[in-house]
Structure 1
Amino acid sequence: MTTPDKKTRDHGGNLDAAMTRFGGTRAEWLDLSTGINPEPYPVPAIPAEAWAALPRKADMVRLIAAAREAYGCPGHIVPMNGAQGAIQMVPMLRRPGRAAVLGPTYNEHAATLRAHGWEVTEVATLAALAGADLAVVVNPNNPDGRRSQPGALRDLASRVKLLVVDESFADPEPELYIAPDLDGGLPNVVVLRSFGKFYGLAGLRLGFALAEGDLGQRLAELAGPWPVSGPAIEIASAALTDRLWREQTIRRLSADAARLDALASAAGWRLIGGTPLFRTYACPGAKAAQEALAARHIWSRIFPYSDSWIRLGLPPCSRWGQLERAFQAL
């Protein structure tokens, strides 16, 4: 591992840079640099009113009810402009102080806190978060897939002033959800959820912040009266209550993750961890591996703090052949 650059805010999805360097059209490229479901939820017909009018209170109530069913949350549910929208609000929930982030992880948490005047330390264990004014745990973690059990998080909440649990990749693993515990016993916990990743509709820019009591009310105030669009409400209200699609998708993602692991293993890569939406491997040289795949128009993700880690999302069902041929050529 190399030492992370605290100022780095690199992300996946930077396909334009890959195309500039390696050529090819957008249709020729297979972008595996993000952990987004490549087989998105089928978008239903959207009423014209959803485009033409501001969302009504009844529309927001319908969306929140759908999210409550999906996440099992008895507390406040605040729709946001993606989980990233909630991340931008977290630093304003308390006066800046000492923040601790369980890492390495998604870099926007630390970067956004620092931008708002927080002193941020990255730590390697849950125990090291104790005593922080604000603690952040991504569960399951991006990029290594580390899991923190709900019981351990409940215990941690009693030892920090504010605990943020980012469950952006938790949809396929309901046993990890801490949202059902937001029933009066965790007044200092905020749970972040991403809609776009599991449902494959990241361009919708929809997420949720879940919290109890005063904390939930404060988040709602920060979000404002129209934090999400009418079309997002219509699509998500259908998707979040579609249990059959959800169950079928979890099975497919799990099978595809195992299929990707087999390809990587045959190439001599070692699994570091991941989720059903992405896998992270150790290989002899991550940058060289990324470039070898890019030469075949497959884009992956490497990290500034590791010379060996490479992360791949899953391809759509119709593009596995391209990925398999690229691995055979490594």
Structure 2
Amino acid sequence: MKNSSTSTFHISGMHCNACVLKIDTELQSVPHISRAESNLKTFTVEVEGEFDNKLPKEIAEELSAVLKKHGYSVSVERPLKNRNLSDFKIAIPIALVFAFGFVLLQKIGMVNMVNTSTVSYGTAFTVGVIASLSTCMAVVGGLVLSMSATFAKEGDKVIPQLLFHVGRLLSFFILGGVIGALGSVFTLSITATFLLNIFIGIIMLIMGINLLDVFHWTKKMQLSMPKFLSRHAFRVSKLNHTLTPFLVGIATFFLPCGFTQSMQLYTLTTGNFLQGGLTMSSFALGTLPVLALISFSSFSIQNSKKAGIFFKTAGLIVVMFALLNLINSLVVIGLIQPVLNF
């Protein structure tokens, strides 16, 4: 009978709670590993399994081989922090171009986040695009890749992908509408709406800083969906049924993505089923291009050589959105005068 042992290793590449879920799920899918529990606060993973008296370094190499395709690595020693500040030389100009484009769209009314109390559908779509380029969408991308590979072996590449995206868009509209309708039941006061918007802005600010991958301590401050709910949502992808892709698409509404959760919180303030549904579905549509690219080409930003530039650019843009949201909240309640005149 083989002996089970427990070891703790350091993890490189973790950015958010979606990473935690992805790492745990991938490692627990290995036959001889009975338990895996990663920790975003310490950037470690505790693994229990039957490793045939292998040395810690050998186990770390084995775990790295499992996680490498998702952009993570495992080591016995704490790795040196490499912030790759040179990536900002490219990321900052790209973010500035995006900001300029955002201002133009603001002027023609396609997006709205500066001088009113509402977030337009165009803005929700834009946030979705940014979210799809972030690490918190890695878990959704992982689901899509896994599902794509499974059904491709059976000779069906298109229908499962279509079912996934239809399920995702429908669930975001319906469940977003439900959240919006719940907001009308509670009838949030101006003060409550202000505090909720400030909370959303702070969450987005933390997410943006995390994407910059400069201040690692902020990764400990992220909003997190209960693990049991996220894990159950992830397990749906393991079901072997024709409708599995559709169910997986629905389950993505509950996966741990700070962007999704921020939009869900905002949707609560709409107090309207249709507005809430359209806001969340606009966000989901924003994520569609990259997720579709992943579906049909196995594309992965996280494994790209330019991943650092991608994430730092997205981080700068998210920080911009967060600051605009915070400023807007203060303007709406009358604490400050409009800073930007659009």
Class of the TM-score when normalised by the shorter of the 2 chains: under 0.3
1 or 2, which has the higher helix percentage? 2
Instruction: Determine which structure has more spread, i.e. the larger CA radius of gyration.
Output: 2
> What is the TM-score when the length of structure 2 is the normalising length?
0.24
TM score, norm. by length of structure 1: 0.25
